[in-house]
Amino acid sequence: MRKPILAGNWKMFKTVSQALSFVEHLQDLAEDAPQQVDTVICAPFTSIYALNQLLEDSSIKLAAQNLHQAEEGAYTGEVSALMIKDVGCTYVIIGHSERRQYFGETDDSVNQKVHAAFKHGLLPIICVGEDLDQRNQGITKQLVEEQVRAALSAVKADDVPRLVIAYEPIWAIGTGKTATAQDANEVCAHIRQVVGDMYGKEKGDLVRIQYGGSVKPENIEELMLQPDIDGALVGGASLDPGSFAKLLKGA
Ligand code: PEP
């Protein structure tokens, strides 16, 4: 059995005080939320330390939205895996489409970041997904397969069960358009098959695969009912504690 995982990606939103206030509200709203769902907040770097203090005894885990692949060095403006771990993160998002699109991340840098994350005990949430043009060309599965194979290049089999992969069709991110639950499941099943092909079916069956792209309280239940969708990576609808609490119930 794979434990469902709901992750809220705040992107470049929320000051420290807004982040703390969100968590206080969420804890009130989701007091008796089921513990069967791993709950993750992917906060801006600036809020992580303060959130970690507040969440000390909580089951809510923290993620960074990016890391740099080097151990340390003259990389002005960057943050390493060690620093992210040190400040209290359990997870880290790697290769979000906005990073690929605006910050030049490639399959190769994604792979290096995955290795850096595992080396420091962080659990990567690796994002893959096609744009609208690629979808219209009918190459979604092929493209996503290439992204998964590249991201996992030289990753040890023992690390595979700790992975999370987020299938996020780019055309569905922040647009209000969602893949149908069946379409999303078909691609997630393909991702599982690819991991199984690389590491054996048993490992493929252990990997948690999220869907992301305009997930809301209204559509999360249908997505979660799909056999190969183990959770959601949520942007816009994760910014409000009321909406996040509803997502948690739906998950
Ligand atoms: C995301 O940021 O990963 C995302 C899926 O955003 P949204 O839910 O707003 O589409």
Q: What are the φ/ψ torsions at residue 218 (nearest 5 degrees)? A: -75, -25
**Nearest alpha carbon, ligand 1 atom 2:** 235
Amino acid, res. 136 = N
Please, which residues have CB within 8 angstroms of residue 34's CB and are 6 or more apart in sequence? none
Q: Is the CB of 178 under 6 A from ligand 1?
A: no
Active site residue 25: no
Distance of CA 184 to the CA centre of its chain: 15
Please, which residues have CB within 8 angstroms of residue 81's CB and are 6 or more apart in sequence? 67, 68, 92, 116, 117, 119, 120, 122
Are the C-beta atoms of 22 and 242 separated by less than 8 Å? no
- Higher-pLDDT residue of 251 and 229 is 229
Active site residue 120: no
The pLDDT score that the predictor gives to residue 36 is 87
Looking at ligand 1, which atom is closest to the CA of residue 237?
A: 8
Give, in degrees to the nearest 5, the angle at Cα 210 between 98 and 125.
55
Whole-number Å distance between alpha carbons of 159 and 119: 10
**Nearest alpha carbon, ligand 1 atom 4:** 235
Pocket test for ligand 1, best of 6, 94, 175, 233 (most atoms within 8 A of CB): 233
Instruction: Give me the chain's average pLDDT, please.
Output: 96
73 labelled binding-site residue? no
The pLDDT score that the predictor gives to residue 200 is 97
Pocket test for ligand 1, best of 128, 168, 170 (most atoms within 8 A of CB): 168
Residues 96, 98, 145, 190: which is the catalytic one? Answer: 96
**What does each C-alpha distance from 56 to 5, 60, 244 come to in angstroms?**
19, 9, 20
The pLDDT score that the predictor gives to residue 213 is 95
The pLDDT score that the predictor gives to residue 34 is 60
Sign of the four-CA dihedral 206, 251, 47, 75: positive
Looking at ligand 1, which atom is closest to the CA of residue 166?
A: 3
Whole-number Å distance between alpha carbons of 232 and 213: 9
Pocket test for ligand 1, best of 100, 214, 239 (most atoms within 8 A of CB): 214
Model confidence, pTM: 0.97
pLDDT tens-digit series, residues 240-249: 999 999 999 9
The pLDDT score that the predictor gives to residue 214 is 92
**Cα of 98 from ligand 1 centre, angstroms:** 10
* Buried b / exposed e along 104-116 (16+ C-beta atoms within 10 A): ebebebbbbbbbb
Whole-number Å distance between alpha carbons of 118 and 123: 7
Share of the chain above pLDDT 70, in %: 99
Mean pLDDT of 98-104: 97
**Cα of 235 from ligand 1 centre, angstroms:** 3
Q: Is the CB of 191 under 6 A from ligand 1?
A: no
5-250: CATH topology is TIM Barrel (3.20.20)
**Secondary structure (3-state) at 189:** helix
Domain ranges of the chain: 5-250
Please, which residues have CB within 8 angstroms of residue 93's CB and are 6 or more apart in sequence? 7, 9, 42, 63, 64, 65, 66, 124, 125, 127, 166, 233
pLDDT tens-digit series, residues 26-79: 999 987 666 789 999 999 999 999 999 999 889 999 999 999 999 999 999 999
The pLDDT score that the predictor gives to residue 32 is 67
Residues 98, 145, 168, 190: which is the catalytic one? Answer: 168
Least confident of 27-41, 147-161, 201-215, 223-237: 27-41
Q: Is the CB of 235 under 6 A from ligand 1?
A: yes
Mean pLDDT of 222-227: 97
pLDDT tens-digit series, residues 167-208: 999 999 999 888 899 999 999 999 999 999 999 999 999 999
The pLDDT score that the predictor gives to residue 177 is 87
